[in-house]
Amino acid sequence: TTHLLAAVLAAAGRSCATIGTLTGARTTPEAPELQAQLAAMVAEGRDAVAMEVSSHALDQHRVDGTRFRVGVFTNLSQDHLDHHGTMEAYFAAKARLFTPDLCDVAVVNRDDPRGRLLAEVAAVPTRTFGIDDAADLVLGAAGSTFTWRGSQVRLGLPGRFNVANALAAATAAAELGID
């Protein structure tokens, strides 16, 4: 989702950097390193950053003091129960992003049961995306085709999860004023 959003922003003429799993040792750097990276990106003339924010980072307050125009919730699985202990604690950590202190708008996957819950309890305005409820989806071996705002979109990546990630990126970009 991070790199799809960065590609959409770049295609719209924004100078976008990324922070996340593919660009660093940690998904979300420690707070001092994160702030140094963001300052360097501003100094380079970047006007946008697409960033992965892990539940660990939220739990450990690594992004406190950072403002996100849009926060995206893709899903909640049992990946990090070793750290959080319970699904409830894991959800609470992720839900921390969607508060007025950290972000302006939540973009939430309504196909995920915890996403539906988050859409109800988020303390910021929420926009939802999904495949099951409102999208016309066709999966094929060479990629995927789905409908976005009445137009057919061909995604050169196969698989339902890639369509969900593309929908997340498109919804976040729309919230940033990019059509």
Alpha-carbon distance of 48 to 45, in angstroms, equals 9
* CB neighbour list of residue 116: distance below 8 Å, 6 or more residues apart: 110
Task: Give the residue extent of every domain in the chain.
Answer: 2-175
160-175 helix and 2-11 helix, angle to the nearest 10 degrees: 50
- Identify the pLDDT of residue 80: 65
Q: Say if residue 138's pLDDT is above 60.
A: no
87-95 helix and 113-121 helix, angle to the nearest 10 degrees: 50
- Identify the pLDDT of residue 162: 84
Give residue-wise pLDDT tens across range 43-68: 999 999 999 999 999 999 999 999 99
- Identify the pLDDT of residue 137: 38
Q: Say if residue 92's pLDDT is above 80.
A: yes
- Identify the pLDDT of residue 135: 33
Mean of the per-residue pLDDT values of the chain = 87
Segment among 24-28, 74-78, 143-147 with least mean pLDDT? 143-147
Q: Strand (E) positions, the chain?
A: 16-19, 48-51, 68-73, 103-109, 126-129, 137-140, 143-148, 151-155
Q: Say if residue 86's pLDDT is above 70.
A: yes
Beta bridge partners of 147: 152
CA 48, 67, 22, 165 torsion-angle sign:
negative
Task: Kindly report the length of the chain.
Answer: 179
**pLDDT interval class at 142 (50, 70, 90):** low
Q: Say if residue 139's pLDDT is above 50.
A: no
Number of CB atoms found within 10 A of residue 64's CB: 12
Q: Say if residue 96's pLDDT is above 60.
A: yes
pTM of the model: 0.85
Q: Which fold has domain 2-175?
A: UDP-N-acetylmuramoyl-L-alanine:D-glutamate ligase (3.40.1190)
Alpha-carbon distance of 118 to 106, in angstroms, equals 9
- Is the distance from CB of 70 to CB of 176 less than 8 angstroms? yes
Give residue-wise pLDDT tens across range 103-134: 999 999 888 999 999 999 999 999 988 876 55
Q: Strand (E) positions, 65-179?
A: 68-73, 103-109, 126-129, 137-140, 143-148, 151-155
- Identify the pLDDT of residue 143: 67
